[in-house]
A and B are shown apart, each in its own frame.
Chain A
Amino acid sequence: MHRTILRLAALGAVATLALTGCATNADGGDSDSVDVTVWHYWDGTNADTFDAMVDDYNASHEGVVIKTSNVPNADFLTKLRASATSNTLPDLVIGDLVWVPQINEFGTLADLAPLLPADVLADINPALTSFGTIDDKQVSVPVSANNLGYIYNKSLFEEAGLDPEAPPATWEELKSTGATILEKTGKPAFELFTQAGDNGEGLTWNFQVNLWQVGGEFLTEDNTAAAFNTPEGEQALNYWVDLIDSGLSKVGAWGELGKSEVAAANDGSWMVGIWSGDEPFDFGTSTAPYPEDGSPATNLGGEQAMVFDNSPEKTQAAADFLAWFLEPEQVLSWSEATGMLPVTNSVATSDDYLGWVDDNQPRLRPYVEQMAYARARPNTPLYPAISLAFAQQIEKALTGDVSVADALANAEQAVNDVIAKG
């Protein structure tokens, strides 16, 4: 009997040894070049473009090998956190802007200010730079940007007898053109993000656009308390509730614009690139409408790059790559290939880029212009919890279950609770 067991064990050992032969360890590069691992969630064209740029960089820069790895967006933070607990973090991580404060909590992000050339840093859009500045450390720099703008269905506009080249520029115009659209086509004029869902962010970041437009604030300057329970907050929320009450917007799941069930929505600049190849309808873009007694504003999104301080050589190598990536030439080609907005002012205002936009993606133009006054969200690690708490209370006002004043008060309470719990 023991002999049989020994035979089995031997078989097992042979099998495992065979498996070892098959096991590949992603460990290329010779001993005197530095390996830098990059994680990102880009896919499709964006991923291909990035990989091509990385190949160029590897070919033209001796002594460093950059390796990229795509991690699906939905599980990105989970995988990153698992790596944090086991010291298998990548060197460079490119993730959503909103994640930066949480990733900073890991405690090992490098301060990029001394590692990047001063002129590169200065060239970056200030709203994004300040977002990435936490506790006086530059923990992240943007590598792509997007924002929210007004996307509308030109066919529905025509059907309603409106000029498809004259989208509304203010809230008041939106309401009046909206009434016409509702009357002539029976479809809602504007899509709001009315549901909190499981993270609240869709609602929150859409609402912040209108909040900022009337001069309101979401959190206090130091992110220690809610700041939206003000007359400005009420004005913004009333704008939403009025749209719903008058039938110009409906409460429901997001996505009606793509199905041509509504005439317009505030949606991201990325939609321009996605829809250009294969348009579900004839769409136009414009800057986000703001109230006549307010000022234009929009919300910034995009990807930010962070460097984990795994070792001095890798950290410097990663920073060098970022510096190269943020040079005007790379920012220009990156933006043109992906349809993302340039993060550096020099490129965003350059004739080259603007010329390219007008020739190739004219519908991107309003978004580019908005970069001048676009704002970024609060950079607190509690932001996801805050956003969810906020959205869960606000959606009750949208369904009519709760008054505007109560919803804002409840939301303020909920958000402050989150902050207090820390």
Chain B
Amino acid sequence: MLWPTPSKPSTTSSPRARYVTQFATSTRPGRLRGRGGAPRARYERDEVITAVLFLAPALVVLGIFVIYPIFSAGFISLTSWNGFSPVKEFIGLDNFVRLTQDPAFWNSLLVTVIYAAGVCLLSVASGLVVALLLDSPLRGRGVYRGIYFLPAVTSSVAAAIVWRYMLDPSGFVNSVLEQLGVAGPNWLQDRWLALGALTLLTVWKNVGFNAILYLTALQALPDGVYEAAQLDGATYAQRVRYMTIPLLKPMTFFVVVQGLITSFQSFDLVYVLTGGGPQGGTEVLGMFMYQQAFRLSDFGYGTAIAFVTLFLVLGVTLVNWRASGSGRSPLR
């Protein structure tokens, strides 16, 4: 070794504190201090070559197998292709126009928005609550972590099958309710109950991920400020509400974005749980586009819906980015 290996970044104090105490200089990536403020060239040749070499493997793979298909799909969304015939008839923006007039699409959009709202809200809530519960020197933390992560480790299909069976009118949930003297409804036959069940299933599946995300964010919060607040008489609830939650905004943003992507693209869970029914009550966009593209052989239309979904998620993410106060480009 030519130089001593720096110790790993500590996780018990905020990064800002660490940076300030260890290094007084700026942390602009890769730049050595310029001399006397002389104007520098926009890009250094060596740096760009290195960048190209570093980027090449991933970008080649992604470019060929993901980006190119996206452009290919973009073209398909402008056709009336059925998914298998050798002929693709160009129809311009007709698919997109048709979307705006399709009541099934608007139903699907409504269902998905409600679903996404529920998933994001509950993901944040459940993740935070479990993380707060785990955020103390509790015996068996590792065991709890493992248990809460179990749903994330199961395949979506298995998880949905299990939930469907449990929510069956004569299934486990209703028999428990019966013991408590309550008549359980037919969960998956009422459109709103079914949507609720789907939301719960999705949140259940991801509670482990979200809890661990929040847990680690919590580990890095500065203890000193909390102690000061406690001395000032702030209760636990007040500390959580006025300090923890605001400080966790960036992580909340991340969890919300993940929730958005999950709910807008959700297919496996919905397909197995309800198949999109009853009467379109759980026909989220993921299901709707699959149905159009594969069941009804309207691949062009289905692809157009997919692109609309993409723009929606991207748009909401960018709006959220501003709201989370980051205000900078994603690349800082």
Query: Do A's and B's CB atoms come within 8 Å in the complex?
Result: yes
Given contacts A106-B84, A384-B296, contact A196 B277 (CB under 8 A): yes
CB-defined contacts of A225 to chain B, threshold 8 Å: none
Contact A105 B82 (CB under 8 A): yes
> Which residue from B53, B84, B277 sits with its C-beta under 8 Å from A198?
B277
Contact B291 A198 (CB under 8 A): yes
Contact A107 B86 (CB under 8 A): yes
User: Is A362 interfacial (CB 8 A cutoff)?
Assistant: no
User: Is A311 interfacial (CB 8 A cutoff)?
Assistant: no
With most chain B CB atoms within 10 A of its CB, the pick from A107, A195, A198 is A198
Contact B84 A395 (CB under 8 A): no
Contact A198 B186 (CB under 8 A): no
Given contacts A197-B275, A252-B186, A253-B189, contact A107 B295 (CB under 8 A): no
Measured CA separation A392–B276 after assembly (Å):
12
Q: Which residue from chain A places its CB closest to the CB of B170 in the assembled complex?
A: A259
Q: Which residue from chain A places its CB closest to the CB of B53 in the assembled complex?
A: A5
User: Is B297 interfacial (CB 8 A cutoff)?
Assistant: yes
> Which residue from B83, B276, B279 sits with its C-beta under 8 Å from A81?
B83
User: Is B188 interfacial (CB 8 A cutoff)?
Assistant: yes
Closest chain B CB from A35 CB (angstroms): 23
CB-defined contacts of B50 to chain A, threshold 8 Å: 1
Mark interface residues in B47-79 (1 if CB within 8 Å of A CB, else 0): 000100100010000000000000000000000
Q: Count CB-based A-B contacts (< 8 Å).
A: 57
Mark interface residues in B80-111 (1 if CB within 8 Å of A CB, else 0): 00111110000000000000000000000000
User: Is A55 interfacial (CB 8 A cutoff)?
Assistant: no
Measured CA separation A78–B275 after assembly (Å):
17
Contact A198 B85 (CB under 8 A): no
Residues 65-120 (chain A) with a chain B CB within 8 angstroms: 77-78, 80-81, 84-85, 102, 105-107
Contact A78 B294 (CB under 8 A): yes
> Which residue from B85, B189, B276, B295 sits with its C-beta under 8 Å from A384?
B295
Q: Main secondary structure on chain B at its contact with chain A?
A: loop
Mark interface residues in A284-319 (1 if CB within 8 Å of B CB, else 0): 000000000000000000000000000000000000
Contact A198 B82 (CB under 8 A): no
User: Is A388 interfacial (CB 8 A cutoff)?
Assistant: yes
Contact A252 B296 (CB under 8 A): no
User: Is B169 interfacial (CB 8 A cutoff)?
Assistant: yes
User: Is A134 interfacial (CB 8 A cutoff)?
Assistant: no
Mark interface residues in A197-230 (1 if CB within 8 Å of B CB, else 0): 1110000000000000000000000000000000
Measured CA separation A381–B296 after assembly (Å):
10
CB-defined contacts of B297 to chain A, threshold 8 Å: 102, 105, 381, 384-385
User: Is A261 interfacial (CB 8 A cutoff)?
Assistant: yes
Mark interface residues in B279-290 (1 if CB within 8 Å of A CB, else 0): 100010001000
> Which residue from A107, A198, A259, A381 sits with its C-beta under 8 Å from B275?
A198
Measured CA separation A102–B271 after assembly (Å):
22
Contact A77 B294 (CB under 8 A): yes
Measured CA separation A253–B274 after assembly (Å):
10
Measured CA separation A336–B291 after assembly (Å):
37
Q: Which residue from chain B places its CB closest to the CB of A78 in the assembled complex?
A: B294
Contact B295 A199 (CB under 8 A): yes
A selection of 8 A-B contacts at a CB cut-off of 8 Å is: A5-B53, A80-B84, A107-B85, A195-B278, A197-B277, A198-B276, A259-B170, A384-B295
A105-B82, A385-B297, A388-B296 known, 19 other contacts, Cβ within 8 Å = A81-B294, A84-B84, A105-B85, A107-B85, A107-B86, A196-B279, A198-B277, A198-B295, A252-B169, A252-B186, A252-B189, A253-B168, A259-B170, A261-B170, A381-B297, A384-B296, A385-B295, A385-B296, A395-B279
Using a CB–CB distance below 8 Å, which chain A residues touch chain B?
A: 1, 5, 12, 77-78, 80-81, 84-85, 102, 105-107, 195-199, 251-253, 259, 261, 381, 384-385, 388, 392, 395
Identify the 3 closest CB pairs spanning chains A and B, nearest first: A198-B275, A81-B84, A84-B84
Using a CB–CB distance below 8 Å, which chain B residues touch chain A?
A: 50, 53, 57, 82-86, 168-170, 186, 188-189, 271, 275-279, 283, 287, 291, 294-297
